[in-house]
Amino acid sequence: MSGGAQRAWAWAQPFGGAAILAVLVWRLGTGPFLDGVRQVSVWSLLAATSITVLTTVCSAWRWRTVARGLGVGLPLGTAIAASYRSQFLNSALPGGVVGDVHRGIRHGLDAGDLGRGLRAVAWERAAGQVVFVVLAVTTLLLLDSPVRPAMGWVAAAVVVGALGTVLALRALPRLGPSRRARTVRAARADIRGGLLAPRAWPVIAVTSVVVAAGHAGVFLVAAWTTGSSASVAQLWPLAILVLLAMVVPLNVGGWGPREGVAAWAFAAAGLGAAQGVATATAYGVMGLVATLPGGLVLAGDRIRRGRAGRRSGAGRLAELPVP
């Protein structure tokens, strides 16, 4: 991607989310957003925070497993703290990936291999998304939802796309000194060692399912907190649709596509667009509060770096000759 295209995409990300929110306010007013904020309770925040502890530990365990397969392992406690910090940055900043880039760089620098640190995060995120897509397609095939009539075609497209990707990877050149060949060899080695190794793929599969179920569970809590009386069977496929929308990077700190798809999905399911927006808003508030420990980790990092800088400065002063 050229420099101009990168700058255009960087501007499009927050503006896309802002445009979706503007349309929702124009059509529905500010009431559903305010209701979503006002109706968040202490108990709903405690529930979201408790579920997020579980999903964060599972995400960190998945990352640690992939990183170990790539030869840049890290302690589980370090992975949990970095995952909290990453979630907080993803929630607070546009795009939704700044935190992941940050943890990849930090881990790579700490491990002495920046490339593998970044690749470990990229493969971990990709593996989680693949498992989530499979889970989402299965859920939307089995449960009634606004998109169920089209899910047969979607499932077929996913299968064809997966087969096409596998065939394309097999067709790429693996031998020779070219940059493309080296990249293909590195990718194949990463997939074999970090994702498909016997000790890796079961952990990746289970933790990814738990993470997806946890996020959907928080969405259900948000729906019931904002007054919905719909059952789990009604809300679960809607939660999956909203989580799929959150993968789209056109957002402002996570806001935008989530609220837009929630409004459409709830309206199509007969639950009301306003209820969808209120639920998505409450989910956003609850998610931000649940990731606040990441802000504490970030603050702790800054304090430690400041102390290390002062000690380094004091050491350099002590080495100066006395006049």
Residue 98 has a pLDDT of: 85
Whether 2 has a pLDDT exceeding 60, the answer reads: no
- Assigned token pair, 99: 């935190």
Residue 320 has a pLDDT of: 46
Residue 131 has a pLDDT of: 94
> Residues 180-207: what's their mean pLDDT?
87
Residue 3 has a pLDDT of: 58
- Other beta carbons within 10 angstroms of residue 223's beta carbon come to 27
Whether 52 has a pLDDT exceeding 70, the answer reads: yes
Residue 303 has a pLDDT of: 82
Work out the mean pLDDT of the chain and round it to a whole number: 87
> Residues 98-105: what's their mean pLDDT?
91
Residue 1 has a pLDDT of: 54
Identify which has the larger pLDDT, 12 or 240.
240
Contact between residue 170 and residue 188 where contact means Cβ atoms under 8 Å apart: no
Share of the chain above pLDDT 70, in %: 87
Contact between residue 36 and residue 274 where contact means Cβ atoms under 8 Å apart: no
Residue 162 has a pLDDT of: 85
- pLDDT confidence tier of residue 304, bands split at 50, 70 and 90: confident
pLDDT digits (tens, 9 = 90+) for 196-242: 999 999 999 999 999 999 999 999 999 999 999 999 999 999 999 99
Which range is least confidently modeled, 233-237, 289-293, 312-316? 312-316
- pLDDT confidence tier of residue 19, bands split at 50, 70 and 90: confident
Share of the chain above pLDDT 90, in %: 61
Residue 174 has a pLDDT of: 63
For residue 265, what are the contacts with CB-CB under 8 A and spacing of at least 6?
145, 146, 238, 241, 242, 276
Whether 321 has a pLDDT exceeding 80, the answer reads: no
Residue 207 has a pLDDT of: 97
Residue 323 has a pLDDT of: 43
> What is the distance in angstroms between the CA of the first residue and the CA of the last residue of the chain?
56
- Assigned token pair, 95: 């795009």
pLDDT digits (tens, 9 = 90+) for 237-283: 999 999 999 887 777 777 888 999 999 999 999 999 999 999 999 99
Provide Rg for the chain, Cα atoms: 22
pLDDT digits (tens, 9 = 90+) for 109-123: 999 999 999 999 999
At 321, is the secondary structure helix, strand, or coil? Answer: coil
Residue 322 has a pLDDT of: 45
Residue 272 has a pLDDT of: 95
Contact between residue 251 and residue 94 where contact means Cβ atoms under 8 Å apart: yes
**Alpha-carbon gap, residue 129 to 127, rounded angstroms:** 5
Residue 211 has a pLDDT of: 97
Residue 6 has a pLDDT of: 61
> Residues 140-165: what's their mean pLDDT?
89
